[in-house]
Structure 1
Amino acid sequence: MNISNDSTFAPYDDYDNYPGYEPCSFSNNNSLNVVVGPYIHSIICILGLVGNSLVILTYALYKRTKSMTDVYLLNVAIADLLFVLALPFIVYNELYSWPMGQVACKLLRGSYSVNLYSGMLMLACISTDRYIAIVQARRSFRLRSVSNSLIICFLIWIFALLVSVPTFHFHHWYEPSHNNITWFNSNEQEETTDPQFVCEWKFDDSNTASIVKVAVPSTQLAIGFFLPLFIMIFCYTSVIITLQKAKNFQRHKAVRVVMVVVLVFIVCHLPYNLALFYKTVNLFKQSDCDEEDSLRTAMSVLQMVAYLHCCLNPLLYAFIGVNFRNHFRRIFRDLWCLGKRYIDPRRFSRVTSDTFMSTIRRSVDSSSENGTSFTM
């Protein structure tokens, strides 16, 4: 008979206390993570790295952050970029032994949690800003200032850090007891495997383990998904109602953009969070290895879908705007010109290069967009 070992919440128990028991193999989930997982996660990392880096580069060199939405978009891109940078290490830790020690373990898991909460709450702030700008237009000039958005972003990052304290505290670098397996070869000589250290949850007693096992996913569900979802639904529903009253083509186009933003958010995050909710509710119920393996496999697939959202954020929130697309084109034009300069410096003088770059900087906000990167 097998006993389930949850990789998300590693038990405090020692398997030596259960004679005749051994950990479940979770063959289907392991096969998915080993065969398909690296390719999907590589695609997510590459797309997320390119898209969010372009957003940050655009704000750093080409476009001033002159509205609340701009500030929120920049912070969303930073959170998503930090997430995709940490993702390869998280995947490696789930497949292999963790070689980087205790400090790196805590920083990796903790930063993942911080970026999750901050990114989702920033998306809620974007929807709130759009609500104020369109539905509460008369009061928008008083409320929508860059200084206010900077304060809000700072508070969100601090709040995300505080709710991630349990993740920092309870993640440890250790060798699970069920990895201490002794093998015997044909000559009956004792042979032990090399130590396999993991970076996972570890608790000192059952009461702490039970509380954290419920509190952490519950907080993730409440603050990291349902709160932003409800805010987005309320704000964007009000926005759509307001825009429907306008007899303008651009306004109706903006309605379609809003619907796409909400639908993509729901499609990416709702299935995984429902699975996480089901797992949390049934956390202390007994289940056999096949059932647990099926749940883990489903959650692995849905988690990959949720990760895709960090790649789609630049497209949905930044590159939809005409002005932002123009800056995006300038980036490639500058890279092309700089490449020509280094390939054939005689045909691309320094004076020409400096003149070109100064022209680009003077035309930072030359288009007719009214201070927001979100098409509305």
Structure 2
Amino acid sequence: MVKMESTESWTAYNYTGLDDEEEGLCNLDPNPMEVTIQTYIHGIICAFGLIGNLLVIITYVFYKRTKTMTDVYLYNVAVADLIFVVALPFIIYNEQHSWLMGLAVCKMLRSAYSINLYSGMLLLACISGDRYFAIVQARRFFAARSRTLIYSRLICSGLWVIAVTLTVPTLIYTERYEEHNLWSVSVTVTCQMTFRTSEKAKLMKVLVPSLQMAVGFLLPLVVMVFCYSSIVYTLLRAQSTKRHKAVRVVLAVVVVFIVCQLPYNVVLLFHTLSLFKERDCEEEQFRLRVLAISRSIAYLHCCLNPILYAFIGVKFRNHFWQIMFDLWCLSKKYIYSARSSRATTEICISGSKPSEGSNHLSSFTA
């Protein structure tokens, strides 16, 4: 049985730079300090990602409703990111401990990241495309806006089907892998992609990362760069203070996407290209360390999406404050006496008028 990832401890591979008595053995386990730091970072990402994306979903379900194509896309992005942040603690546990849960949960958790990667990145590309038509091709966009919700739901359904289809190899080949430690009698069980033959392992070790880089990074990057560069050009020609603020928001969206996703995909590319070459042990340890760091930076994108795409809009922020106001009212209702509750309810009713008014560029303005 061949493992998908080279994160195993003391495994025989083609490594050089070792002593004669340890030839072919390389300890690729991260040191305890790195594990502790990584756990804290992932915990913060999980907490903020959970809160931010839940607030986006609550806002769309109970307050804002989905009225435009961008609303539909943002709701689906929040769902995709929420799936990932819920699975992230279990993924972290799998990397640091022996896997105790069954095979079905193992497959679901390993597939969660892949589904989030494909669906989330493709949805971000769709958002950039929608903003392109709304700003650069404004006349055509508003002429057909009566059909946009139907189109956006069909597009989102298609993207989820694509994401699940591209995740099929991960779902099929993920298994509970029993690793016998060479220096003790203990057995470590991990949840990861494993293969029965080396030929299939070589194919999947190249195919899966290649799909992730092509569909989950390069394609969305090309679409976003084209759309947002056209948007910036159009906004700069407008000579408006408000639209200059929108330009800064557009640049922030692109810069954050590149900063979060580019390092991981570059490192993943070099790691994939070196899989079937003879590698120095220290070099491989360093490469895996950099891969882990860049992967954590890529995870960060799931808790930045609500800020960049939702809460930066004026109308969305108003709905967010309405949520906070309603939660405050509920807390007052259960803390104070019946008389105080009636007074609080009157205040809540009088103060619960959502503000309206914003144009199609509101998601670009602070």
Same fold (TM over 0.5): yes
Distance in 2 between residues matched to 1:349 and 1:57, nearest whole Å: 24
Q: Give the conservation status (yes or no) of the 8 Å contact 2:3–2:192.
A: no
SS of match in other structure, 1:199: strand
Distance 1:278 1:181, change over 3 A: closer
SS of match in other structure, 1:172: strand
- Give 1:230's aligned residue: 222
- Give 2:336's aligned residue: 344
| 2:153 pairs with 1:156 | no
- Give 1:118's aligned residue: 119
Moved more, 199-208 or 338-347: 338-347
Deviation at 1:6, TM superposition (A): 7.0
- Give 1:91's aligned residue: 92
Distance 1:294 1:323, change over 3 A: same
- Give 1:187's aligned residue: none
Distance in 1 between residues matched to 2:340 and 2:201, nearest whole Å: 65
Q: What is the one-letter code of the residue matched to 2:163?
A: A
| 2:185 pairs with 1:208 | no
Deviation at 1:126, TM superposition (A): 0.4
Distance in 1 between residues matched to 2:280 and 2:288, nearest whole Å: 12
Distance in 1 between residues matched to 2:34 and 2:50, nearest whole Å: 21
Deviation at 1:31, TM superposition (A): 3.4
Moved more, 91-100 or 138-147: 138-147
| 2:70 pairs with 1:69 | yes
- Give 2:53's aligned residue: 52
Deviation at 1:351, TM superposition (A): 9.1
SS of match in other structure, 1:274: helix
SS of match in other structure, 1:202: strand
Distance 1:143 1:288, change over 3 A: farther
1:170-185 to 2 correspondence within 5 Å?
170-176=173-179, 179-181=180-182, 183=184
Gaps of 5+ in 2: 14-20
Distance in 1 between residues matched to 2:256 and 2:361, nearest whole Å: 21
RMSD: 2.5
- Give 2:257's aligned residue: 265
- Give 1:368's aligned residue: 357
Distance 1:91 1:250, change over 3 A: same
Distance in 1 between residues matched to 2:12 and 2:239, nearest whole Å: 68
Deviation at 1:239, TM superposition (A): 0.4
Q: Give the conservation status (yes or no) of the 8 Å contact 1:170–1:202.
A: yes
Distance 1:357 1:164, change over 3 A: farther
Q: Give the conservation status (yes or no) of the 8 Å contact 1:318–1:374.
A: yes
Q: What is the one-letter code of the residue matched to 1:146?
A: L
Distance 1:135 1:182, change over 3 A: closer
Q: Percent identity?
A: 51
Q: Give the conservation status (yes or no) of the 8 Å contact 2:332–2:344.
A: no
Distance 1:205 1:354, change over 3 A: farther
Distance in 1 between residues matched to 2:254 and 2:36, nearest whole Å: 32
Residue-by-residue CA offset, 1:85-132 (whole Å, 9 max, x unaligned): 111100110111111011110011112211111011110000000000
- Give 1:8's aligned residue: 5
| 2:307 pairs with 1:306 | no
Deviation at 1:288, TM superposition (A): 1.9
Deviation at 1:370, TM superposition (A): 3.3
Distance in 2 between residues matched to 1:258 and 1:244, nearest whole Å: 12
Q: Give the conservation status (yes or no) of the 8 Å contact 2:4–2:194.
A: no
Residue-by-residue CA offset, 1:280-338 (whole Å, 9 max, x unaligned): 12221110211110000001111111111111111111111111111111111111111
Q: What is the one-letter code of the residue matched to 1:172?
A: E
Output the TM-score relative to the length of structure 2.
Answer: 0.90
Q: Give the conservation status (yes or no) of the 8 Å contact 2:136–2:230.
A: yes
| 2:125 pairs with 1:128 | no
Q: Give the conservation status (yes or no) of the 8 Å contact 1:175–1:197.
A: yes
Distance in 1 between residues matched to 2:78 and 2:219, nearest whole Å: 20
Deviation at 1:218, TM superposition (A): 0.2
Q: Give the conservation status (yes or no) of the 8 Å contact 1:106–1:171.
A: yes
- Give 2:27's aligned residue: 25
Which fold has the larger relative contact order, with Cα–Cα distance below 8 Å and residues 6 or more apart in sequence? Answer: 1
- Give 1:218's aligned residue: 210
Q: Give the conservation status (yes or no) of the 8 Å contact 2:176–2:191.
A: yes
Moved more, 156-165 or 107-116: 107-116
Q: Give the conservation status (yes or no) of the 8 Å contact 2:7–2:28.
A: no
Correspondent of 1:249 among 241, 252, 263:
241
